[in-house]
Amino acid sequence: MEEVLNALKDVKIVVDSAIVLVEHPGDGENKKKKVIQIVEDFIKQNGIILPFPAGIVDWMIGEAVDFAVGWLNDHLWKKDKNK
């Protein structure tokens, strides 16, 4: 179980890094697709095997991207909401 948790932590680090790498104004869905592809490539190239069906892994990655982007939008990339 510890190995799975460590793998998920590694995947989360790649999600966060990929989001920053692809960031530019607009084009949200294409950026998300790029991030997901980077993460999937990382998982495959590093032989990471998660004990979940592929559809669940895809869902988890998508949710992690949405959560991280939401947090970054609210805390790091936030625009002045008073304007």
Residue 51: both structure tokens together: 């004990």
- Nearest-angstrom CA–CA distance, 35 and 33: 5
Please say whether the beta carbons of 39 and 61 come within 8 A. yes
pLDDT at 76: 85
Whether residue 8 is predicted with pLDDT greater than 60 in this model: the reply is yes
What is the pTM (predicted TM-score) of this model? 0.85
What is the b/e burial string over 47-68, where b = at least 16 CB atoms within 10 angstroms of the residue's CB?
ebeeeeeeeebeebbeebbeeb
Whether residue 83 is predicted with pLDDT greater than 80 in this model: the reply is no
Question: What tens digit of pLDDT does each residue of 9-59 get?
Answer: 999 999 999 999 999 988 999 999 999 999 999 999 999 999 999 999 999
pLDDT category of residue 79 using cuts at 50, 70 and 90? low
